[in-house]
Structure 1
């Protein structure tokens, strides 16, 4: 036993996301019988050549050793694949998944770091074989990311993905015994998730970016609205065929910043389910970070806030 205990950790997760324009961070603390509380958000502008210096700076300024830290990956840094659940014992699961993924990855399976996410089936048909999501990233990339955080003295506990970050927010919005669809956009495109009972059941990416949705050219903007609507309709049709036991209550549209109301109105007029725009104040206590009252700020920090809502501890 040490006579000098280590620094006491602050409750909740500090999520860190390295993007093209800099490093985004958010800390969220769980609050018993209340909305989770946002402790901080921060942005450090930097290009990719300055990442290490920037992380070292923020580690000192924010005292990251006080937190449990998670690094949020970006699209292109991993692959998320749906596979049929193999009928094997739990201790043989990852080996079986590796065999199924060997022809599905864009790199050799021996170079992959893999984790799996269960997709629960219909509890009324327990004998039916379910499916799973497999998360695969290049082992060398993961080791480089871990080494980077070690070098700048940020205690990295978990590497996470946007689909699970969005799942965390969706789980706070779900009506009882109903599923919820949540759609977000950023510079890389759109992400649709459907959750039920806190579990991720469907994830689809759309090749429509936030900038395209907010452009001033009306004809091009409407073309993006049309593409988004078509992708949503296809996704919902697929989901209904695959998961007949889940009724999706509505589609929530993540904050888009200024000028995002047009998409909500368009989708509401062209989809068969209710479409609402999310304000994060409905599910998070942002009293310590009042700038999050601005929808533009909510859009910028949407994913890192979702990652900071993490509850289970399961590394990639």
Structure 2
């Protein structure tokens, strides 16, 4: 859904994201030829109040009605599927995709809210069919999220997904003409994306949490590192075969101080450079000094990416 009130609002997005450990709110502004500015960031821990009360408190303290607000679905609340793009006019695309998804979802298609995202093809190759991402969520989940925010008097304009939030950050890290792999972790697990020219081309979930990476048992930690390495090798090899016109320049990891051991392991076992992410290189964090720590950056990672949203092209 995309709608805007007529009253004057502050430019940029306010992302309000729900996590098991609490609620993150981030407001970002963007101007041409400059780093995006993080104007404010706030975290409300879930152990202090029930979620509806947290959202209502957040709305009052941040004067949320002045902003264009959005949120993200959480892992498990939607399905992201790669499908062949139907050969239909743009205004018929979502209907055609809906028919194509009928037998691919684990719930009835009539109960689904559907959106699509294009995967651009090689401009120098002959015209051929190409892929798209289809995002499907149960109507009930969308309605519940809307009701939760409406009851807290938070004017929700957009509901997005983590893959697109991570893509927004990856777009700032890309080298011109090269693809970028970005690996992040939160309490739900790992998320690998590969982007090129600001577009999402590949997404993979990795069933490893920061707690598993932080364990002290060296043998178990090495086994977790190996699982991640194998998944990355398979995913990057698959990407190379499917998108041979894109060269991935490096892998960037978002994982606070816990990531140093993983970085060293991956750098030894992957064929591309591996770097740790510090968002200070691509974002202006001067108004929110606490975000200069890698630990805070990890907590706010998806909220930051969501707040960097640019309006999507209509298919």
- The TM-score normalised by the length of structure 2 is 0.95
Deviation at 1:87, TM superposition (A): 0.7
Question: Aligned residue for 2:281?
Answer: 282
User: What are the ranges of 5 or more consecutive residues in structure 2 without an aligned counterpart?
Assistant: none
Question: Aligned residue for 1:83?
Answer: 83
Question: Aligned residue for 1:157?
Answer: 157
Deviation at 1:6, TM superposition (A): 6.3
RMSD: 1.6
Structure 1 range deviating more: 24-33 or 301-310: 24-33
Kept in 1: contact 2:179–2:249 (CA 8 A): yes
Question: Aligned residue for 2:249?
Answer: 249
Kept in 2: contact 1:252–1:276 (CA 8 A): yes
Question: Aligned residue for 1:73?
Answer: 73
Give, in whole Å, the separation in 2 of the partners of 1:122 and 1:152.
Answer: 45
Asked if residue 298 in structure 1 is aligned to residue 297 in structure 2, the reply is: yes
Deviation at 1:125, TM superposition (A): 2.0
Structure 1 range deviating more: 50-59 or 127-136: 50-59
Deviation at 1:258, TM superposition (A): 2.7
Deviation at 1:164, TM superposition (A): 0.2
User: What are the ranges of 5 or more consecutive residues in structure 1 without an aligned counterpart?
Assistant: none
Kept in 2: contact 1:20–1:47 (CA 8 A): no
What does residue range 190-229 of structure 1 map to in structure 2 within 5 Å?
A: 190-229=190-229
Question: Aligned residue for 1:95?
Answer: 95
Question: Aligned residue for 1:261?
Answer: 260
Q: How many residues align?
A: 310
Query: Helix, strand or coil: the match of 2:257?
Result: coil
Question: Aligned residue for 1:309?
Answer: 308
Deviation at 1:214, TM superposition (A): 1.4
Kept in 1: contact 2:68–2:156 (CA 8 A): yes
Kept in 1: contact 2:180–2:249 (CA 8 A): yes
Question: Aligned residue for 2:61?
Answer: 61
Give, in whole Å, the separation in 2 of the partners of 1:49 and 1:97.
Answer: 41
Give, in whole Å, the separation in 2 of the partners of 1:193 and 1:184.
Answer: 9
Q: CA 1:314 to 1:58, structure 2 compared with 1: closer, same or farther past 3 Å? A: farther
Give, in whole Å, the separation in 2 of the partners of 1:131 and 1:6.
Answer: 37
Kept in 2: contact 1:214–1:260 (CA 8 A): no
- The TM-score normalised by the length of structure 1 is 0.95
Query: Helix, strand or coil: the match of 1:258?
Result: helix
Kept in 2: contact 1:20–1:48 (CA 8 A): no
Question: Aligned residue for 2:45?
Answer: 45
Query: Helix, strand or coil: the match of 2:193?
Result: strand
Deviation at 1:32, TM superposition (A): 2.9
Deviation at 1:259, TM superposition (A): 2.8
Kept in 2: contact 1:158–1:314 (CA 8 A): no
Give, in whole Å, the separation in 2 of the partners of 1:149 and 1:290.
Answer: 28
Query: Helix, strand or coil: the match of 1:149?
Result: helix
Question: Aligned residue for 1:112?
Answer: 112
Query: Helix, strand or coil: the match of 2:258?
Result: coil
Kept in 2: contact 1:250–1:275 (CA 8 A): yes
Deviation at 1:47, TM superposition (A): 5.7
Question: Aligned residue for 1:26?
Answer: 26
Question: Aligned residue for 1:170?
Answer: 170
Deviation at 1:8, TM superposition (A): 2.7
